[in-house]
């Protein structure tokens, strides 16, 4: 094994890690509100951290929804008839 080569590789990895740390520190210091749309990577990171939301169950049964729809259609039909407009 070439120890010199390993040392050079470790130093390049250390430099990359230091750059990443600097970028993260800048983000941490920017506590104020940003103007404009956040970058896509930041939006994805926040979405990954957010808790998944549950879908709300429908409070109205399909049968009740159908009855409501038919009643509304009747109301519109009577209104059209009263105004003398037909569609």
Per-residue confidence (pLDDT) for residue 63, from 0 to 100: 94
**SS3 category, 64:** helix
pLDDT at residue 24, as a whole number: 84
User: Cα 37 to chain center, whole Å?
Assistant: 13
| Residue 33: predicted pLDDT | 66
* Entry pTM: 0.34
* Per-block mean pLDDT, blocks of 10 residues, the chain (87 long): 90 92 80 72 74 74 94 95 78
- Token couple for 66: 């159908």
Spatial neighbors of 6 by CB under 8 A, at least 6 apart, are none
What's the confidence (pLDDT) of residue 65?
A: 94
User: 17-48 in b/e burial notation, b at 16+ Cβ within 10 A?
Assistant: eeeeeeeeeeeeeeeeeeeeeeeeeeeeeeee
């Amino acid at each position: 094994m070439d120890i010199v080569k390993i040392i050079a590789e470790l130093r390049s990895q250390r430099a990359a890690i230091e750059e990443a740390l600097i970028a993260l520190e800048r983000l941490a210091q920017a506590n104020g509100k940003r103007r404009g749309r956040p970058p896509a990577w930041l939006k994805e990171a926040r979405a990954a951290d957010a808790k998944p939301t549950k879908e709300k169950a429908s409070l109205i049964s399909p049968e009740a929804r159908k009855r409501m729809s038919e009643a509304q259609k009747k109301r519109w039909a009577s209104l059209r008839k009263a105004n003398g407009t037909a569609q």
